[in-house]
Every structure is written in C-alpha cells, then in structure tokens.
C-alpha cells in the first residue's frame, strides 16, 4: 500500500489543506461537477504544479481536441506548448480507444496500453483523464461500467505508479455526484465543484466530499478563476452567503442548485 504521508500538491495550497495535505502519491482522485464549473482548469493546474517541479506529466483528453484545451489554457496565461517542447508535458487524445473499448467489450487494457505506448514507456508522475466519464458513455450496463473503470484505475496505479486526477461530469441539475454514480466509489478522494446563483450572480463553490486515509476539511468554499493563478479559493460559502444575502437570511430553499 502507498505511504499515505507522501503527498502531492494539487497546485492549490488551500485545496491541499482541505485534503489533509494534498493527494496521496500513487492514488487516483476525482473532480466532479456540472459542465463549465472548472474541472479542466483544476486538472491543468495540478499538472502545471508538477511541471514547475520538473516532473513529467500526461494529459489525456477523451472527448475534446487537445489543441482546444491548450488554447483555452493560454487565455489563463498558461503556456503548455513550452512544456511540450521540453518533452515533459505529454498531451494525448484517446477517443479511438474509448470507442473501441465500447465496441469490443473488456478492453480497458487497450486504453492503458495506449497511454504506455504514447509515452514510449517513459516514467511520468502525474496523469489527468479528462473526462473519464466519456470512456463509458453509451454503455447501458452499470456492472460493466464499474468493472471497466475499476480495471482502468487499478491498471494505471499498478503499471505507472502515478498520481491520477480524473474528471467526471454531473448531468446539469442532477443531484448525483458523478455521471455513473460509480466513479466516486472507485476514487481515493472526491472534490466537488459547483455553481450557484445568488442575487443573480453566479458563485462557484468547492468542497471535498471524500478523502481516504486523511482528516479532511469538508467545508464548502467559494472560488474564482483568475488568470495565471487558476482556481483561487476564498471564504466558506456560508459566510459568503450571509454577507451577500444579509444576516437575516438563512441558507435554504431559496438556493437553486
Ligand atoms: N481566462 C479565463 N479567465 C477567467 N475564467 C475563465 C477563463 N477561461 C475559462 N474561464 C472559466 O472557466 C470555465 C470553464 O472551465 P473548465 O473548462 O475547466 O470547465 P469544465 O468543468 O471542465 O467544463 P466541461 O464539463 O464542459 O468540460 C468557463 O465557464 C469560464 O467561466
Ligand atoms: Mg472540461
């Protein structure tokens, strides 16, 4: 079993504290939330943190063109192209393998092999799968999805000894925590991003839903997305709410989402 004291920074100091010191090295974590909440930005922030420490990092997109994601990152002032030139940032598009996995059944090995082949067997320390839910889209059988995702996670942990961040989407307006309601059981920790409307303004929220082998802070905080810095976590949501809505208001039904 991995040493639970060996921690890897998420790229956000406050989030590290909320997780009891960061991710445990070699484990797999999940960032979940509705579309547009900041899952990709948080996962890139995690990789950028590794790149600044001279680590080799792999980013796998499953339903987007990698160029589009890296262009988007430029709008935050993050230059992943420069890290690509040094060879320490390895972006991959693995749509094809996802499609074949659906077609041919138990092909989680093909997906993990694809990562191995694309990295030419080089060692890397951080991996992002964005979004992992796309791998199992269209699969009706819940048992199959669970086994497929479980095999992928286990194989990645065994073969690469890497700290992995997967993203998964929540259908808009749903009370679920993830697309298949399975991903959260398979991960060692879950970070939930959200958006709420307060006085006509959109407020972004973040909390840690689960963190194995750690004492965690499960308070919900507000956050903003700031160029260069990425996700910046502010005050607890409850304090923010009272400040914006006035002390007489109690948190409750008037909150959509
Ligand atoms: N340069 C920027 N400055 C400030 N905010 C930005 C910037 N670029 C993107 N954003 C914000 O980040 C949000 C998108 O974040 P991100 O792509 O990480 O979401 P996501 O959760 O991955 O969405 P999806 O589920 O669609 O993949 C946008 O809605 C936008 O509000
Ligand atoms: Mg995304």
Distance (angstroms) between ligand 1 centre and the Cα of 230 equals: 10
Query: pLDDT tier at 26 (50, 70, 90 boundaries)?
Result: very high
Report the DSSP beta bridge partners of residue 92: 60
* CB-based pocket (< 6 A), ligand 1: 33, 35-41, 75-76, 169, 225, 227
- Closest ligand 1 atom to 72 CA: 8
pLDDT > 90: percent of the chain: 66
Residue with the smallest CA separation from ligand 1 atom 30 is 36
pLDDT attached to residue 1: 53
Does the structural domain 7-192 have CATH classification 3.40.50.300? yes
Is residue 2 predicted with pLDDT exceeding 60? Answer: no
Report the predicted TM-score, pTM, of the whole model to 2 decimal places: 0.92
Query: pLDDT tier at 104 (50, 70, 90 boundaries)?
Result: very low
The domains of the chain are located at 7-192
Q: Exposed, middle or buried, 191 (CB in 10 Å: 0-12/13-18/19+)?
A: buried
Distance (angstroms) between ligand 2 centre and the Cα of 38 equals: 7
Q: What are phi and psi of 236, to 5 degrees?
A: -60, 145
Query: pLDDT tier at 174 (50, 70, 90 boundaries)?
Result: confident
Mean pLDDT confidence for 41-69? 95
DSSP 24-60: ETT-EEEEEESTTSSHHHHHHHHHHHHHHTT--EEEE
Between 141 and 216, the higher pLDDT residue: 216
Is residue 20 predicted with pLDDT exceeding 80? Answer: yes
């Amino acid at each position: 079993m991995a040493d639970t004291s060996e921690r890897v920074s998420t790229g956000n100091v406050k989030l590290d504290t909320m997780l009891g010191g960061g991710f445990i090295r070699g484990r797999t974590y999940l960032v979940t939330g509705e579309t547009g909440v900041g899952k990709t930005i948080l996962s890139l922030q995690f990789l950028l943190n590794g790149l600044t420490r001279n680590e080799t990092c792999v980013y796998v997109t499953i339903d987007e063109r990698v160029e589009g994601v890296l262009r988007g990152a430029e709008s935050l002032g993050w230059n992943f192209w420069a890290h690509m030139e040094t060879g320490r940032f390895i972006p991959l598009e693995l749509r094809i393998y996802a499609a074949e996995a659906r077609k041919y059944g138990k092909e989680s090995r093909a997906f993990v092999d694809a990562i191995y082949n694309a990295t030419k067997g080089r060692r890397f320390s951080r991996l992002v799968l964005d979004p992992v839910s796309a791998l199992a889209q269209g699969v009706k059988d819940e048992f199959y999805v669970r086994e497929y995702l479980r095999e992928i996670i286990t194989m990645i942990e065994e073969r690469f000894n890497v700290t992995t961040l997967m993203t998964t989407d929540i259908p808009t307006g749903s009370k679920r925590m993830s697309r298949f309601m399975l991903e959260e059981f398979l991960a060692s920790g879950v970070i939930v991003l959200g958006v709420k409307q307060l006085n006509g303004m959109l407020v972004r929220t973040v909390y840690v839903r689960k963190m194995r082998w750690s004492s965690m802070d499960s308070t919900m905080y507000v956050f903003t997305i700031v160029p260069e810095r990425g996700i910046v976590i502010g005050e607890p949501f409850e304090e923010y709410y009272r400040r914006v809505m006035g002390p007489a208001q109690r948190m409750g039904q008037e909150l959509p989402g």
